[in-house]
Each structure stands twice: as C-alpha cells, then as structure tokens.
C-alpha cells in the first residue's frame, strides 16, 4: 500500500483515477479546489476508509508542501489544471494559476519533502498546430498556440529541471481529448446543452470538419496506473491516444441520435477552427507506447458512443 496524493482528484479524470487506485488497495488523498472538480464525483467512494478528500488550492506552495509533510506522501499524480481551454482563451491568468503554478507548487513540495515519484498529465496541445506532421515525443520546435498548451509545456520544462536536480522518477502522458462518464465540458457537453435548449437547431463552431482523436477515460486511467509503476529515474514521456479520429459533425450526429432528434438544422459559424487557439486536426504518433504492448479498448468513435451511453438524459 502506498500513500498517494492526487491533485485535481475530484475532477473528471481524477475521480476515475481515484477509484482505480482505491480498488488496488492504496490510501488516496484527493486534493481539489472544486472550481471544476465536484464532490459528487467521489460520492461512491465515501465509505472507503482509505480515501481522504481535502479542499485546497494546490498553487499555494507553502500550504501544499506542509500537507505533503503531514500525510507522508509516497507518490503524486498531478492532474490539477484548467481544462476549460475556451475559458482560458478569454482569461489567460486561469492557466498561469491553475495549470502552471500548480505544477511549480507540486515540484517544490516534492523537493522540500524528498518525494521522488510523480505522474504528470500533459497534453497534445504542447505541439501546437502542426497539420500533416507526424508528432513523435522527441519532435523539436514545440510551439503551443493556446495558453493551456503553453502552461503545460512550461510545466514540462520545470519538471525536467526538478527531476534532474532532485533525482525524481517522472512519467508524463501527453493525451488528446479525453471523454467518458462524469464529463462536465467539451463538445459533447456543449451540444447536449444547446439541443436541450433548442432541439430544432444546433450551432456548431467552425465548419464541422475539425477532426480529433477522442480517448476513453477508463482506457487512460488503466494506462496511468500500469505505467506509473514502470518508472525509472528521470523523465519518461509518452503520447497516448487512439489511431482514429472523429469530426465535430459526426459528434453532432451521434448526440442528436442519443437525444432522439431528427432533422436538426446545423448552423456552422465557419472557418476550420472552433475558437482561437483550437487545433483542428493533428497526426499523433503512438508507436512508442504501442511498442510496450498497450492498446486502448475503444477507438475514437467508440469513445464518443460510450460516453453518450453513460449519460442519463
């Protein structure tokens, strides 16, 4: 049994990771400021004596470091971040505080307390808009175009330096759009909300051809837990995702079918991006993680459908 701390533990991915780690018999401390995380996501584990939920802003480095010392943490899964990219497009400070500053706080807390084991949730957004380029983990010229991608790349840089200076073992997953049960925002969530307000018409940002891979959250969580125990000194980075992709219009069609709606008029706002900073398509190279034997159980369209199947509408 390990003493594990998850930042953002009440969030979409964090709550699923909490369940997986509890099932394996670990003691899990979930730290969340509950801006995006929800206590209801952890309600099913409330009777588990190995779970502790703490409301704290992870970016407050002294308070967070003191918590690590008090709880005698062995391993940290750092998922706390702003995951609403459209929101940070309007308010860049959100990503500086919730995405980058939380990472600095985690690293500094680890340094002060001699904690060596870290998982970091990164993103395909660190690559930027590189249409037609095969995105391998060691590709050069990383140039994110969103504040979110910039904050994640800055986080990776700080992780690299802290890992070297303090002999840490760090696993980084760069993943695409993650969907599944307890999803609270994103294109599926937006479409459902819009159609519930007006079942006859649907506004679709861009031209609907934006095509992205969607990874099912349980496939991701299983990989996080498995690979975090393969860590070695230094930093190991993996792209993780699916080979297929789904267009925005295909998602709209699937949402309409889930809601039992026919002849919905799609109103496209135009252009090949949904908002400034959006990457309409990318070519993810998964050969590194595939070479280790991992494969997702769901492809992109199956991930979308499984997410819709999990919703009670």
Residues forming the active site? 148
CA angle, 219 as apex, 33 and 256 as ends, to 5°? 85
Tokens of 49: 């004596």
Q: Which among 241, 182, 261, 176 is positioned nearest to 210, based on CA atoms?
A: 176
Q: State the Cα–Cα distance between residues 180 and 223, nearest whole angstrom.
A: 15
DSSP letter (8 states) at residue 182: T
Q: State the Cα–Cα distance between residues 51 and 4, nearest whole angstrom.
A: 10
Q: Which among 80, 27, 18, 16 is positioned nearest to 50, based on CA atoms?
A: 27
8 A C-beta contact, residue 19 and residue 43: no
DSSP letter (8 states) at residue 35: S
HSE-up of 8 (CA within 13 Å, CB side)? Answer: 23
Q: State the Cα–Cα distance between residues 179 and 188, nearest whole angstrom.
A: 9
């Amino acid at each position: 049994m390990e003493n594990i701390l998850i930042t953002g533990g009440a969030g979409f991915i964090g709550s699923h990771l909490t369940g997986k780690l509890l099932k394996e018999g670990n003691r899990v401390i979930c730290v969340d400021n509950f801006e995006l995380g929800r206590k209801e996501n952890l309600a099913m584990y409330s009777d588990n004596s190995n779970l502790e939920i703490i409301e704290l802003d992870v970016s407050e480095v002294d308070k967070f470091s003191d918590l690590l010392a008090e709880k005698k943490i062995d391993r940290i899964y750092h998922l706390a971040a702003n995951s609403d990219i459209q929101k940070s497009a309007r308010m860049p400070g959100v990503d500086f505080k919730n995405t980058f500053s939380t990472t600095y706080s985690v690293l500094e807390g680890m340094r002060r307390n001699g904690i060596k084991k870290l998982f970091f949730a990164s993103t395909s957004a660190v690559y930027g808009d590189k249409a037609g380029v095969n995105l391998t983990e060691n590709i050069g010229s990383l140039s994110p175009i969103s504040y979110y991608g910039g904050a994640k790349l800055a986080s990776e840089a700080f992780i690299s330096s802290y890992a070297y200076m303090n002999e840490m073992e760090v696993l980084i997953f760069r993943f695409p759009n993650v969907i599944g049960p307890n999803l609270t925002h994103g294109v599926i969530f937006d479409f459902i909300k819009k159609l519930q307000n007006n079942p006859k018409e649907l506004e679709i940002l861009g031209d609907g051809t934006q095509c992205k891979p969607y990874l099912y959250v349980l496939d991701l969580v299983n990989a996080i837990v498995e690979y975090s125990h393969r860590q070695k000194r230094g930093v190991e980075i993996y792209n993780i995702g699916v080979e297929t992709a789904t267009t925005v219009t295909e998602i709209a069609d699937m949402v309409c079918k889930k809601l039992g709606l026919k002849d919905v008029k799609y109103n496209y706002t135009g252009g090949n991006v949904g908002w400034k900073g959006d990457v309409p398509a990318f070519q993810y190279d998964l050969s590194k993680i595939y070479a280790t034997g991992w494969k997702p159980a769901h492809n992109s369209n199956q991930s979308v459908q499984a997410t819709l199947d999990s919703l009670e509408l």
